Amino acid sequence: MSALIVHPAADLSYASFVLEGLAEVLGPSNIRYSTEGFPNRFGGGRVLAFYRADDPMARCFVTFNDHPRVNQMGVEWGRVYGMVNVRDDDVNGGVVPLGPTFGVRLSSSSLTARHLVHSFVWAGARPLRAVVGRARAAYQHQRRRTTIGRYRPGRSDPDYVFFTAWPWAKHTEVNPPRARFIEACRRAPGLAFEGGFAPRRRRDVTEVLALSAPRRYSITDYLTKLSRSAVAFNNPAVHGCHGWKLGEFLALGKAIVTLPLSRALPAPLEHGRHIHVVDGSPESLDDAIARLRHDRAYRHALETNAHEWYETHLAPAVLARRLLRTLDE
């Protein structure tokens, strides 16, 4: 396969999932960086743009924004336009719904190094705050995330649930469903619950302070505890987006209790097969938790089917092949 030319502005925190897939499919040495062949007004942020080295018109523009607005420049420049958060009505032959990706540490240290070097060089021509911000984001990403190989299904414990989430001070509509889930777990008879809202240093989201976790969890602890959890809870996040948690839950093969999803997917996630959909009321959460704890066959079916969906439609290499195949159509 032809090498890819990637614009160095891509933010590794968001683009890493797709970059990991492209590296798995093409090999890390076939991912090259340059600003040539891209629009002069191309900026950084939650985007990934690339084209085939042997066919500069085979262009792909991918956005990882929370909001579902289509980037018109990306549509005009790219033959393929990939979006994590796209409305069903906006999906067409050139707009590819990626599904709920999440940040990973790249498996290839050489690709990571090259990405960071080219990213800093690109940022160096911009204001100093851009360089500092890029350096800080890269450091935090490497420290807080882990490789895709660490996302493996484990054995769930019907008497244990782990859940943690960031309490939003601005997008406060995201917090209440999560709070109701934590409360439902705390009152469930015989259930050991661990977690809660991640502590904010400012303690400024007062309505969830009583539901705070005792500490923030490292990615290693997070995955270990989540793998053991009988249930994983999901709700549409900022701007109704697919949060990272949904992708992580699918990769780990969890029994997912979720509010209705509001963004397009590469294939349906069906209630009773891949996920368990609730309306978010306390009663619906109580019933879902009880059923998934005590109906082992149902829990196991959701776990198996969720992971199969991930392997079929979302895994980095699968996603990368879908984008590359669409480029050639």
pLDDT digits (tens, 9 = 90+) for 285-305: 999 999 999 999 999 999 999
Is residue 136 pLDDT above 90, yes or no? Answer: no
Q: Is residue 154 part of a domain?
A: no
Q: Exposure pattern of 293-302 as b/e (b: 16+ CB <10 Å)?
A: beeeeebeeb
Tell me, what CATH number does 171's domain have?
3.40.50.2000
The pLDDT score that the predictor gives to residue 143 is 86
Taking each helix axis as running N to C, give the angle between helix 175-187 and helix 282-294, from 0 to 180 degrees, rounded to the nearest 10: 50
Examine the domain organization and report whether 49 and 182 are in the same domain. no
Q: Is residue 242 part of a domain?
A: yes
Q: Is residue 155 part of a domain?
A: no
Q: Is residue 151 part of a domain?
A: no
Examine the domain organization and report whether 164 and 309 are in the same domain. yes
Could you give the maximum distance between any two Cα atoms of the chain, in Å?
62
Examine the domain organization and report whether 218 and 274 are in the same domain. yes
Cα-to-chain-centroid distance, residue 165: 14
Averaged pLDDT score across all residues of the chain:
93
Examine the domain organization and report whether 124 and 75 are in the same domain. yes
Q: Is residue 150 part of a domain?
A: no
Examine the domain organization and report whether 298 and 170 are in the same domain. yes
Amino acid at 175: N
Amino acid at 1: M
Total domains in the fold of the chain: 2
- Asked if 163 contacts 195 with a C-beta cutoff of 8 angstroms, the reply is yes
Name the nearest CA neighbour of 122 among 17, 12, 29, 14.
12
pLDDT band at 129 (very low <50, low <70, confident <90, very high): confident
- Asked if 253 contacts 310 with a C-beta cutoff of 8 angstroms, the reply is yes
Taking only the tens place, the pLDDT of each residue in 201-235 is 888 888 999 999 999 999 999 999 999 999 999 99
Cα-to-chain-centroid distance, residue 90: 20
Is residue 1 pLDDT above 70, yes or no? Answer: no
Taking only the tens place, the pLDDT of each residue in 7-62 is 998 889 999 999 999 999 999 999 999 999 998 777 667 999 999 999 999 999 99
- 229 forms beta bridges with 157
Give the C-alpha separation, 90 to 96, whole Å.
9
Examine the domain organization and report whether 126 and 165 are in the same domain. no
Q: What is the mean pLDDT of residues 122-142?
A: 76
The pLDDT score that the predictor gives to residue 138 is 80
pLDDT band at 280 (very low <50, low <70, confident <90, very high): very high
Give the C-alpha separation, 211 to 180, whole Å.
10
CA dist list (Å): 277 to 139, 156, 232, 274, 318? 37, 20, 12, 10, 26
Q: Is residue 112 part of a domain?
A: yes
Examine the domain organization and report whether 93 and 206 are in the same domain. no
Q: Is residue 39 part of a domain?
A: yes
The pLDDT score that the predictor gives to residue 107 is 95
The pLDDT score that the predictor gives to residue 125 is 67
296 three-class SS:
helix
Taking only the tens place, the pLDDT of each residue in 77-109 is 999 999 999 998 888 766 889 999 999 999 999
Query: Which range marks the domain in which residue 39 is found?
Result: 4-99+106-144+316-328
Block residue for tokens 């991640």: 198
The pLDDT score that the predictor gives to residue 44 is 63
Is residue 2 pLDDT above 90, yes or no? Answer: no
Q: Is residue 308 part of a domain?
A: yes
pTM confidence score: 0.95
Give the C-alpha separation, 71 to 63, whole Å.
8
Examine the domain organization and report whether 55 and 188 are in the same domain. no
Examine the domain organization and report whether 307 and 322 are in the same domain. no
Examine the domain organization and report whether 129 and 198 are in the same domain. no
